[in-house]
Amino acid sequence: MTTRSKSRIQKPNQRYTLLAPKYSTEIPKNIREAMKHLGWNNAMSKEIVTIHMLDTWTLVPVTDMNILKSQWVFTVKYNPDGTVKRLKARLVTKGFDQEEELDYLETFSPVVRTSTIQIVLNIAISKEWSIKKHDVTNAFLHGELDEPV
């Protein structure tokens, strides 16, 4: 019987990987700090390129409309062993500044139910299909809006 120890495969100790992210990369407190760091600067550039590629927004003249401000949100993504996988920056709108029936009439958040995922996985396993993970970047931006935001 071949075991991990005989194959010299070592699983990292989870107690230490939980502490690793605290010391590896600092999350910037503002955009000035982020612009000084090459990794965060690249993450912000990637986000801006994605926004332009998807035609997420366009500049319009200022009117008497309620104008929503935006801010950068920075996150560090880690590998299971605690090492830094990538730096992620998102430009988000402060939607809490909106007023109901003035800026929007209804809200909709596309979510998937856990039971749906379980059924799909069950079918895939019973049919012996291969299962792969796919991350859709900015999936919510693919919808069309009828009113200005």
Sequence spans of domains, the chain? 14-133
pTM: 0.55
pLDDT per position as a tens digit, 47-84: 999 888 888 777 778 777 777 778 899 998 888 777 78
Contacts of 49 (CB under 8 A, 6+ apart): none
Instruction: Identify any residues that bridge with 72 across adjacent strands, giving them in sequence order.
Output: 91
pLDDT band (50, 70, 90) for residue 88: very high
